[in-house]
Amino acid sequence: MARTTKRLHKISSRTLGLAPGTIAVPEDAPRPVIKIMAYDRDNLVEETLENVADIPAYIKKFPVSWIDVTGLGAQDVIESFGTTFDLHILALEDVLNTGNRPKMEAFDSNLFVIARMAHFLKGKKDQLELEQVSFFLGKGFVISFQERPGDTLETVRDRIRKNSGARVRLLDADYLLYALIDAIVDGYYPVLERFGDILEDMEDEIVNNPTHDCIRKTHRLKRELQHLRHALWPMREVISGLIDDDMMSDKIEPYLRDCRDHIVLVLDMLETYRERSAGLIDIYLSIVGHKTNEVMKLLTVISTIFIPLGFIAGLYGMNFDTQHPMNLPELSSPIGYPVTLGVMAMITTGFLIYFKKLGWIGNKKNH
């Protein structure tokens, strides 16, 4: 793939000097824990470091080093990374401002990538967590910044430790960056599987027992799916930017294209789930409307039966003089009362038979 030699979109890392105290860490953020995995084809060193100044020695000794920083709660540590690795102050501000959308920025000596990692909180299968992960790709190293412990990158660590899939130990740091981004994208699959189970449970709940709480759950589900879409949609541009950047070697391009295909597949699944979640409201309204119709149908049956019965009872319940010739003759009949009850019973039976044929009562469906 032909690449442009002039990188006009790049920003010099020294455009703004990094003076102490120029960045602010998030409140209540945990103190950073620095872990390094430095390796070549045959050797691997995995350690937890106390000082940022110890890292360059590993980078000089090994062709690839992954520095994973978990926690953003120490300003001096973040500033040390900036001065040690010539990281632009604007990029460091984006690292600490954890509400960014995924993006890619190219600087003179490194690439800066922001991705959003999706997973459910430990012990809370229904509480979605979207965490910002920031990457810096330099010559022979990748630095990752995470907000808190717990991630979807353990598969990459296992591949490095076991040396399974020879590419991760044979290729350079740009392949490591791809592998980390790909692991984040693959982490969306179990999240979507969980959302699929939630959708099925909600569909059953709405069909069997629709309540007002179903509306609240549906709106929450739609909002979380929308957040997932916002977190993943810009990743297509990020991958396209990596493909076009000359800090990524030509041999990494097929892997990046495959990663972009995974993103498109996940987005397709997200769109399907969003449509299903939107359909839950229609299902709820249909079920509630059907139940309302059943209630109105029952009330109509009762009203229709009792209207003629009420008329007969009211007619023969009038207190007129039974001796007057213009009075109802049935009032003087000795069998008038049982005859009236019989007529009422016949009317009731006739209506019940008629409504049963219509399918309003009984098990017969109304076609």
pLDDT for the residue numbered 289: 77
238 pLDDT more than 90 = yes
Q: Mean of the pLDDT values across residues 84-88?
A: 92
- Fill in the DSSP letter of residue 53: G
Stronger pLDDT, 85 or 167, i.e. the higher one: 85
Kindly give, in sequence order, each residue whose CB lies less than 8 Å from that of residue 114, ignoring residues fewer than 6 positions away. 94, 100, 101, 102, 103, 104, 132, 133, 134, 135, 238
Q: Mean of the pLDDT values across residues 124-150?
A: 88
Highest mean pLDDT: which range of 10-24, 74-88, 289-303, 324-338:
74-88
Stronger pLDDT, 58 or 314, i.e. the higher one: 58
Strand-strand pairing, 64-70 and 141-146 = parallel
Neighbours of 177 (CB within 10 A): 24
335 pLDDT more than 80 = no
pLDDT for the residue numbered 296: 81
Q: Which of 45-59, 134-148, 192-206, 336-350 has the lowest mean pLDDT?
A: 336-350
Cα separations in angstroms, 152 against 144, 149, 226: 13, 10, 21
Q: Mean of the pLDDT values across residues 5-19?
A: 41
330 pLDDT more than 70 = no
| Domains within the chain, CATH numbers bracketed | 33-286 (3.30.460.20), 291-358 (1.20.58.340)
9 pLDDT more than 50 = no
Instruction: Describe the crossing of helices 188-208 and 253-316 by its angle, rounded to 10 degrees.
Output: 10
Q: Mean of the pLDDT values across residues 307-333?
A: 69
Q: Mean of the pLDDT values across residues 288-314?
A: 77
User: pLDDT band at residue 348, thresholds of 50, 70 and 90?
Assistant: confident
Q: What is the percent of the chain with per-residue pLDDT over 90, rounded to a whole number?
A: 42
User: pLDDT band at residue 295, thresholds of 50, 70 and 90?
Assistant: confident
7 pLDDT more than 60 = no
Q: Mean of the pLDDT values across residues 154-178?
A: 82
User: To the nearest 10°, the Cα dihedral for 289, 292, 297, 300?
Assistant: -130
Q: What is the pTM of this model?
A: 0.76
Q: Mean of the pLDDT values across residues 116-123?
A: 80
Nearest to 146 by CA among 161, 159, 131: 131
151 pLDDT more than 50 = yes
pLDDT for the residue numbered 17: 47
For 123-132, which contacts have Cβ atoms below 8 Å and span 24 or more sequence positions?
A: 125/194, 126/198, 128/191, 128/224, 128/227, 128/228, 130/227, 130/228, 130/231, 131/98, 132/98, 132/99, 132/100
